[in-house]
Amino acid sequence: MILELASPLHQEKVSLDHLPDDELIRENQVVAVLTGGTEALFLDAVRRGDISLERPIILLATGSSNSLAAAMEILSWIHQHDGHGQIRCNW
């Protein structure tokens, strides 16, 4: 399953161009960071238990809407809290 995060501040239409392969989804927690301003939504998902810092987290970033910027802020937070993860731009 992929958790998709998008901010209502971004009014442009956002979506994943294509899905990552099944193996990546099966072996990781995959979060699609579709826009900027989604960092708090990620924290909400951690608090709800939808995302665990005990397992690797793959952040998918698109090439627009400040997606990569938000993914970098989230990845930095994950590392500050002893989690593991990385960003994929082209998957």
Partner 1 sequence: MVRLGVIGKPSDWLIASVYDADIIRQVMDIELVDIAIDEVTSLGRVGDGEEGALRIYERLKELIQKYKLSGLTLRCFDLLTTVHNTGCLALARLNAEGIPAACESDVPALLTMMLAKQVSGYSGFQVNAARIEQRENNRCEILFAHCTVPLNMVDTYEYTTHFESGIGVGIHGELPVGDYTLMKVSGTLDRIFAADVRLIRNQYEPNLCRTQVWIEADREVADYLLTNPIANHHILCPGHHAGKLTIDN
**How does DSSP assign 29-81, residue by residue?**
EEEEE-SSS-HHHHHHHHHHTSS-TTS-EEEEE-SSTTHHHHHHHHHHHHHHT
The two tokens of residue 33 are 């960071």
CB of 34 to partner 1, least distance (A): 11
Pick between residue 28 and residue 66 the one whose CB is nearest to partner 1.
66
Pick between residue 2 and residue 77 the one whose CB is nearest to partner 1.
77
Q: Is 28 in the site for partner 1 (CB under 8 A)?
A: no
Q: Is 3 in the site for partner 1 (CB under 8 A)?
A: no
With CB under 8 A as the rule, give the number of residues binding partner 1.
Answer: 31
Binding mask 32-51 for partner 1 (x = CB under 8 A): ----xxxxx-xx--------
Pick between residue 4 and residue 10 the one whose CB is nearest to partner 1.
10
SS3 26: helix
Residue 44, φ and ψ in degrees, nearest 5: -60, -40
